[in-house]
Amino acid sequence: MTIQWFPGHMAKARREVTEKLKLVDIIIELVDARLPLSSRNPMIDEIVHQKPRLVVLNKEDMADPQLTKKWITYFESNGIKAISVNAQAGNGMQKIVKESQSILKEKWDRMKSRGMKPRAIRAMIVGIPNVGKSTLINRLVKKNIAKTGNTPGVTKSQQWIKVGKELELLDTPGILWPKFEDEKVGYKLALTGAIKDTILNLQDIALYGLLFLEEHYVSKLKERYEFSDIPDNPVDKFQHIGKLRGCLMAGGEIDYDKTAELIIRDVRGIQLGRVTFDFPPEDDNEKM
């Protein structure tokens, strides 16, 4: 999905999420485990404000497991509970329910001590496009899709879906915009497929990917493209890969756009292995 985000769209998205915040007990903030920072909405803290929140790093199957662990520690050291899941395979669904319960335990205990009957936790999923919101909702709901209909005090049009007895989910996720100010973020979102069509130049995106991999995942890069030594010059890098993979124009010249497309496709298809493109802020490795 490609969405052009203009200031008006951002304001509308923000308004919609803010409006729905009132209906829920907890926000499930979905991010891409390959980009736990770049795939977050830049204003999420402000938007979510005091509402309890669980950060879910989705697509863990595509991300570097060691960095996923570091990211979870990073979020937690900043007071935000985080877990990783693979929504496509349905791994980690129960963790979402369990963690939501644990985050809200004190509030629920207070309700109980006041003699109130325990009810299901109400949650909303939010995230930028393509982080897997729909996939996650479908997985959480499994086959027992049971719309709970209109809950008193809730806008009529709002539908809730039951996830077991413990959780109720708003049927439509909150869609927020990614960060655009930073070119690096744009490259990362494009490389991983979070943004499919972009105004960024294909060759620039691919080159960004090559340089990142060379710096952080060099053995994977060498293996995939059969480099014994990686040349310094970008043209030579493209020449090598283009020749190896037959990205040629009529006449036998290297087709640089085709080569760039191939590199991007390889990154998106995890042909270069499980790569994470964001490092936790305190991690010294963050140079890109």
Burial class of 267 by CB neighbour count within 10 A (0 to 12, 13 to 18, 19+): buried
Q: Per-residue x/- marks for ligand G4P, 229-268, CB under 6 A?
A: ----------------------------------------
Residues near 132 by beta carbon (within 8 Å), at least 6 away in sequence: 30, 32, 58, 59, 87, 88
CB of 278 to ligand G4P, least distance (A): 17
Q: Per-residue x/- marks for ligand G4P, 127-146, CB under 6 A?
A: x-xxxxxxx-----------
> Binder to ligand G4P among 1, 7, 8, 157 (CB under 6 A)?
1
Site for ligand G4P in 41-80 (CB under 6 A): 58-59, 61-62
CB of 91 to ligand G4P, least distance (A): 8
Contact criterion met (CB below 8 Å) for 33 and 71: yes
CB of 132 to ligand G4P, least distance (A): 3
CB of 237 to ligand G4P, least distance (A): 27
> Binder to ligand G4P among 3, 5, 18, 88 (CB under 6 A)?
88
CB of 125 to ligand G4P, least distance (A): 8
CB of 220 to ligand G4P, least distance (A): 18
Question: What are the two backbone dihedrals, phi and then psi, of residue 54, each rounded to the nearest 5 degrees?
Answer: -120, 125
> Binder to ligand G4P among 38, 39, 86, 100 (CB under 6 A)?
86
Question: What are the two backbone dihedrals, phi and then psi, of residue 106, each rounded to the nearest 5 degrees?
Answer: -60, -45
192 binds ligand G4P (CB under 6 A): no
Nearer Cβ to ligand G4P (58/207): 58
Structure tokens at 7: 């200031």
Site size with ligand G4P, rule: CB under 6 A: 16
Measured from each CB, the residue nearest to ligand G4P is 132
Expressed in angstroms, the distance from the first to the final Cα of the chain is 27
CB of 196 to ligand G4P, least distance (A): 8
Contact criterion met (CB below 8 Å) for 288 and 278: no
Nearer Cβ to ligand G4P (62/205): 62
Q: Which residues of the shown chain bind ligand G4P in the complex (CB under 6 A)?
A: 1, 58-59, 61-62, 86-88, 127, 129-135
